[in-house]
Amino acid sequence: MVFSLLIFSHELGHFLLAKKNGIGVTEFAIGMGPTLFHFDRGGTTYSLKAVPFGGFCQMVGELEDDSANQREDSFNSKSPWARLSVVLAGPVFNFILAFLLAMFVIGSVGIDRPIISDVIEGLPCEAAGMQGGDRLVQINDQKITVYRDLQLYLMLHEGEPLDITYERGGEETTISIQPVFVKDYNSYMIGIQYENRRSDTTMWETIKYSAYEVKYWMSYTLTSLKMLFKGDVGVDDMSGAVGIVDTLDTIVDETKEYGAYPVLLELANFCILLSANLGVINLLPIPALDGGRLIFILLEIVRGKPIDREKEGLIHTIGMVCLMILMVLLVFNDVRKLF
């Protein structure tokens, strides 16, 4: 169900913009493999497939022979800007879904405001004069909007000197500290304590913080990719479909005793990450992904003429094969970690 929602949102973006730009859609499918159910309407076949992973919005001229591209409703017959909007719509709709889910979660449980509950005696923040009730404003050049901003920054800049700006009584103060290594915790610490309590929001705050929630997870995804390429994280830290399903099962198992609504909230919260992640990954300039297709369309706009369709198709095919190999490796890795 979760995967279907994410894919439906993504493909719906492609579908709606294709229809708006007069592009024919031959099939709109959720899932992969054998068809369980389908119906035809307006020249489009709407299908539900047996395997609940993936989905597609097949447009006229995408995978068909050259004759299909001669049709007025083919994808390649439209202007570069029309095609750009169609390709971009998939990731954008993932971000919209993440925003709507964030509205639901934040409207229900509030936000993690960056207000510390206490400081630990003998550690840098206490020695520098910080107190419980102080609101974090900024750490070095990073603005602190929610408490997780601090956690993410400290994870990425472990042991580095910090300039922390906090607010107390309407006045802002900046302190300079050096995190210290605490053997008992085997990590660098600054000595801040935080009660993991969310506080209620106004309607405007819910909208504002929902937008920020999407931005946060987009940044988190890009940061994770950067760490992967730098070698700071390895293959064991990556998850594929099996790993995600296992995480979803764990979420349900750990919250079902509290009732259906808490389970729904936790699943929605996890889906915010997944949907934002899917949007960002699809915008990467990798052949076969939306980002790869966008590159070719942008090159066409700059050059004033399209790249040879056969060459572009070959590049996307190679990209798809590489992505399928990566997916298989991730599934193998997920299964290995489970057992």
Which CATH number is 164's domain given?
2.30.42.10
Question: Residue 25 falls within a domain, yes or no?
Answer: no
Q: Provide the pLDDT confidence category of residue 319 given band limits of 50, 70 and 90.
A: confident
Question: Residue 91 falls within a domain, yes or no?
Answer: no
Q: Provide the pLDDT confidence category of residue 70 given band limits of 50, 70 and 90.
A: low
In this model, does residue 101 exceed pLDDT 80? yes
- Tell me how far apart the alpha carbons of residues 40 and 19 are, in angstroms, rounded to a whole number: 15
Q: Quote the domain boundaries for residue 166.
A: 118-193
Number of domains in the chain: 2
Does the annotation mark 27 as catalytic?
no
Q: What pLDDT does residue 259 have?
A: 80
Same domain, 323 and 215: yes
Same domain, 189 and 212: no
Instruction: Please identify, among 193, 219, 251, the residue that sits at the C-terminal boundary of a domain.
Output: 193
Same domain, 205 and 299: yes
- State the residue for tokens 């489970």: 338
Q: What pLDDT does residue 308 have?
A: 84
Q: What pLDDT does residue 131 have?
A: 92
Question: Residue 96 falls within a domain, yes or no?
Answer: no
Q: Provide the pLDDT confidence category of residue 1 given band limits of 50, 70 and 90.
A: low
Same domain, 156 and 219: no
Instruction: Please identify, among 193, 226, 256, the residue that sits at the C-terminal boundary of a domain.
Output: 193
Question: Residue 208 falls within a domain, yes or no?
Answer: yes
Same domain, 246 and 184: no
Same domain, 229 and 328: yes
Per-residue pLDDT of 163-216, as tens digits, reads 999 999 999 999 999 999 998 888 899 999 888 778 888 899 999 999 999 999
Q: What pLDDT does residue 93 have?
A: 96
Compute the average pLDDT of residues 218-222.
Answer: 88
Task: Cite the beta strand spans of the chain per DSSP E.
Answer: 25-41, 44-59, 118-119, 135-139, 142-143, 162-168, 171-177, 180-182, 187-189, 192-193
Same domain, 246 and 327: yes
Average pLDDT, the chain: 86
Question: 11, 213, 266, 312: which one is catalytic?
Answer: 11
Instruction: Please identify, among 193, 208, 225, the residue that sits at the C-terminal boundary of a domain.
Output: 193
Q: Provide the pLDDT confidence category of residue 160 given band limits of 50, 70 and 90.
A: very high
Q: Which of 68, 81, 82, 56 is nearest to 309 (CA)?
A: 68
